[in-house]
Amino acid sequence: MTNIATIYDSAVVEQARRLGTSTLYEASGIPTTSVDPAIRTVWRGASVAGAAYPVECAPGDNLAIHIAMERVPRGSVLVVSAAGFVAGYWGEILTVAAEAAGVAGLVIDGGVRDIAALTSRGFPVFARGISVRGTLKDSAPSVGKPFSLAGTPVAVGDLVVADDDGVIVIPAASVSSTLARGQARADKEAQMMDALSNGRTTLDLLGLTQWRQA
């Protein structure tokens, strides 16, 4: 199998993580890049970037995730749709399996459990909720095929970036241009913060002086 994750070398992944989701979302210019904000980190400070590997689960059934563990390219981020059904699709056992398989992180429109273990292992997980309820292993709607994650298109090789601010999925064809615009935006903001530290105001720097009170 071709390792789709090698599309993004370590420098690209690190740049994406450093720029962060808020900057890259603004730089993308694509409204659907942003994943539903209800899908958030389960432990503060988690961050991840990598090629998407999409997996679709039936509600309350995580068989597709187990199948994906034998197919997912190293360095990928598993992006799992469970149609918003919150159950314990993922826990400590799958985290250990993911680490062994070289999976970089998990984004799931569903639920997870074993939060203390996920936190102590430092495995990045972004989920709609937390639930003690277990899951069945009876069906696997799709593994490695494109789908919509709560309105955000996801395909193998898209760039997933996730941090405390949220989750974004950048289409593979837009990654280079988005990173370039994101870097330019970050550089401009750094200059603005230097100016603020030296006494300028946001009204000055954003051209809003007409709103300054006399």
205 is in an annotated binding site: no
Torsion over CA of 37, 42, 48 and 49, rounded to 10 degrees? -30
Under 8 Å between Cβ of 16 and 61? no
- Whether 106 has a binding-site annotation, put simply, is no
Helix (H, G, I), strand (E, B) or coil at 30: coil
Q: Cα-flanking dihedrals φ and ψ of residue 192, to 5°?
A: -65, -40
Whole-angstrom CA distances from 61 to 56, 137, 153, 156 are: 10, 5, 22, 22
Residue 99 among known ligand-binding residues: no
How far, in Å, CA of 45 to CA of 124, rounded? 9
And the tokens for 60?
């309350």
- 94 annotated among ligand-binding-site residues: yes
Q: Is 45 annotated as a binding residue?
A: no
Contact 169, 25 (CB under 8 A): no
CA distance 180 to 27: 8
Cβ burial 130-149 (10 Å sphere, 16+ → b, else e): ebeeebeeeebbebbeebeb
Residue 47: what residue type?
S
Query: Is 102 within any annotated ligand binding site?
Result: no
* Sole residue written with tokens 């250990």: 96
Known binding residues for Mg(2+) are: 114
Q: Which residues are annotated as a binding site?
A: 91-94, 113-114
Q: Residues at the annotated binding site for substrate?
A: 91-94, 113
